[in-house]
Amino acid sequence: MPSFRFEVIAGGQSNMIKEDLASVELASPRAVELAKGAASTASPDADHSGSRVKVYDAAGYLIATVNFSDVFGGGPLGQTEPLNEEPGVKRSG
């Protein structure tokens, strides 16, 4: 199973989470879940303009970045619109 490192950057703090996932295709959706989870535990008036989740592979290469503002579409956190594809996922390389 591939290993990934998720760096959750929110509120001026960084938290590292290491996980093994069945495939690389599951890394970006997991980053979106982590962004939603981190935002839901923050205060409602928190500024998440610089908050994001960076995804690194086992070799340490950045493979995706998920901005909180992209996940929540610029509206109030927790209020999302139906999406047709992964929101806010920027793939590297």
Residue with tokens 């956190």: 77
Give the pLDDT of residue 81: 42
Give the pLDDT of residue 49: 77
| CA-to-CA dists, residue 55 to 18, 62, 66, angstroms | 10, 6, 8
Residue segments in the chain with a per-residue pLDDT below the cut of 70: 42-44, 46, 73-93
Give the pLDDT of residue 12: 81
67 strand-pairing partners: 52
Give the pLDDT of residue 86: 54
Give the pLDDT of residue 79: 42
Give the pLDDT of residue 91: 62
Cβ-contact 88, 67 below 8 angstroms? yes
The residue among 11, 10, 2 whose CA lies nearest residue 35 is 10
